[in-house]
RNA sequence: GGAGAAAUGGCAGAGUGGUCGAAUGCGGCAGUCUUGAAAACUGUUGAGGGUCACACCUCCGGGGGUUCGAAUCCCUCUUUCUCCGCCA
């Protein structure tokens, strides 16, 4: 959520920057400013009314104390209209504040200046590419065929238990999955991220804090009986650890990592490109989250990108990095880099990480602040990234490491797996 | 799940209808002293709205109510603790 004060001062620039997202926000921004104006005048009126009645109440108290009950009763009568007024103004103010809030929720984050304009993922800008694309055997297969051939993932069995998009990992498939989780967590810890274990269900306030609510409600599984949401990413519980916190400057940098399963309804996603592990309702992911001083957040973002590069180098997977264009950029993000692994057998790029700087957008919703050198509260910057999302890394490994007599395991994972080949 | 108790500032903890945004202690910050530090002493120290700055307004777990006036009384929700039951 953008700060009102920022909108007040930079309406023109914001409106212009949002055009990169193909959004014409100027009339919405006007509405917001108008409503804000109305909010402040109403607030002022309410404050004056309350001040008046506070004053009277004090006088009444004094009069009663000094035994002048009659005079007190005269004043009492005067408070009646003040009460009505403040009730009316208070209701009005609440209504305005609510409306203002809902308008503010509709404005996405301002894209960073480096974000290219564009409509779809075709307009994303490739900024880096590394790793050799392997030459595979002639009858190379996509991972869903390999999974069946080696009996390591059973999609049909998952359908029986839960439904499509809930695979069952078996034997070496399950072990490889666990190996990846441990490997990622170890790499992140090595890079200075503190490992956390967090709830996999969150309340509404948490969803609002990181921006999944109110507008993307349909993307999360909702547990009606207890009004909780299954997390779509560890970003939600981990970032919300800092909701309503005021940090001190020396607390920075804050670097956390967490493994969690992720649950996404993915309503409306069908077709061949969501086959196998490409898109799931439940998948595993190791996430990194940072809370930073505003002046360091872009350096931190670069650091996260470098860190993920290192992991992919170790896994020897061919990958590229995209700078997302305005149209593809997430609602709450100012700048996002997507990592994609090339899946040779599917002949396509698979997104395996998304690294973003949210600047103050989430912090404003979270009320995540720090005290600056003058002792004033300032909003912190939040960032996060996948390091990494499991299923597509698994797909990439299965497909790129397949040989005529089995699937080789990347060297760095062998100690975690306890085997070096799936056959 | 049943019965009871509680929720106050960074923490501990007073306050049971009116000069209470809230005593006191600890912690934090600044200063004095010291070569420096510790100790001691002095001062300062919640958040938000509003204002050029003040004034002023709101917040004592959340929401609602009673009252001229609520941290204090009532209702409700949530959470925590104790006891019982159940249980990985």
Condensed to tens digits (0 to 9), the pLDDT of residues A188-207 reads 999 999 999 999 999 888 99
- Prediction ipTM score: 0.87
Asked whether residue A225 carries a pLDDT value surpassing 80, the answer given is no
What is the CA A371 to C1' B39 distance in angstroms? 30
| Strand B positions within 7 A of protein Cβ atoms | 18-19, 47-51, 55-58, 68-69
Q: Give residue A61's pLDDT.
A: 86
SS3 track for A273-334: HHCCCCCCCEEEEEEEEEEECHHHHHHHHHHHHHHHHHHHHHHCCCEEEEECCCCCCCCCCC
Distance A373 CA to B32 C1' (A): 24
Q: How many whole angstroms separate alpha carbon A384 and alpha carbon A296?
A: 14
Average pLDDT over residues A359-377: 89
pLDDT at A421 over 90: yes
How confident is the prediction for chain A on average, in pLDDT?
92
Q: What value does the mean pLDDT take over residues A410-420?
A: 96
What is the reported pTM?
A: 0.93
Residue A265 · residue A234 · CB < 8 Å = no
CA A61, C1' B15: Å apart? 19
What residues pair up with A343 in beta bridges, in sequence order?
Answer: A348
Q: What confidence tier does A273 reach under pLDDT thresholds 50, 70, 90?
A: low
Q: What is the pLDDT of residues A307-356, one digit of tens each?
A: 999 999 999 999 999 999 999 999 999 999 999 999 888 899 999 999 99
Please give the average per-residue pLDDT across A210-225, as a whole number: 85
Q: What share of chain A has pLDDT > 70, as a percent? A: 98
Res A74: pLDDT: 81
State, as a whole number of angstroms, the distance between the CA of A242 and the C1' of B41: 38
Residue A115 reports pLDDT greater than 70: yes
Q: Give dist(CA A100, CA A94) in Å, integer.
A: 10
pLDDT score of A245 more than 70: yes
Whether residue A289 has pLDDT greater than 80: yes
**For tokens 């992919």, what's the residue?**
A312
* Closest nucleotide to the alpha carbon of A58, via C1': B18
The answer to whether A160 CB is within 7 Å of strand B is no
């Amino acid at each position: 959520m953008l700060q009102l004060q920022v909108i007040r001062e930079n309406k023109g620039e914001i409106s212009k920057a949002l055009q990169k997202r193909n959004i014409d926000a100027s009339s919405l921004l006007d509405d917001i400013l108008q409503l804000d104006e109305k909010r402040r005048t109403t607030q002022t009126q309410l404050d004056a009314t309350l001040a008046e009645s506070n004053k009277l109440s004090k006088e009444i108290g004094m009069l009663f104390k000094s035994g002048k009950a009659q005079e007190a009763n005269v004043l009492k009568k005067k408070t009646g209209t003040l009460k009505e007024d403040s009730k009316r103004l208070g209701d009005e103010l609440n209504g305005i504040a609510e409306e203002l809030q809902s308008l503010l929720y509709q404005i996405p984050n301002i894209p960073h200046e480096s974000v290219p304009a564009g409509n779809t993922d075709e307009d994303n800008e490739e900024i880096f590419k590394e790793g050799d694309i392997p030459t595979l055997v002639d009858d190379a297969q996509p991972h869903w065929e390999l999974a069946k051939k080696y009996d390591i993932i059973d999609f049909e069995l998952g359908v029986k238990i839960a439904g499509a998009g809930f695979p069952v990992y078996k034997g070496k498939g399950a072990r490889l999955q666990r190996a990846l989780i441990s490997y990622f967590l170890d790499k992140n810890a090595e890079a200075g991220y503190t490992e956390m274990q967090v709830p996999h269900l969150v309340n509404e306030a948490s969803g609002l804090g990181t921006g999944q609510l109110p507008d993307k409600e349909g993307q999360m599984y909702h547990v009606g009986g207890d009004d909780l949401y299954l997390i779509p990413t560890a970003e939600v519980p981990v970032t919300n650890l800092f909701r309503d916190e005021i940090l001190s400057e020396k607390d920075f940098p804050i670097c956390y990592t967490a493994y969690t399963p992720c649950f996404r309804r993915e309503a409306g996603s069908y077709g061949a490109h969501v086959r196998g592990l490409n898109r799931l309702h439940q998948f595993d992911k190791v996430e990194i989250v940072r809370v930073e001083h505003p002046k360091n957040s872009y350096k931190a973002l670069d650091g996260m990108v470098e860190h993920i590069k290192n992991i992919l180098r170790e896994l020897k997977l061919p990958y590229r990095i995209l700078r997302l264009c305005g149209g593809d950029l997430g609602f709450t993000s100012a700048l996002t880099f997507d990592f994609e692994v090339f899946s040779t057998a599917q002949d396509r790029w698979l997104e395996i990480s998304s690294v973003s700087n949210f600047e103050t957008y989430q912090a404003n919703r979270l009320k995540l602040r720090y005290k600056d050198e003058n002792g004033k509260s300032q909003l912190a910057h939040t960032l996060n990234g996948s390091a990494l999302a499991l299923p597509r890394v698994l797909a990439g490994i299965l497909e790129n490491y397949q040989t005529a007599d089995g699937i080789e395991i990347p060297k760095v994972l062998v100690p975690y797996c306890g085997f070096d080949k799936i056959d």
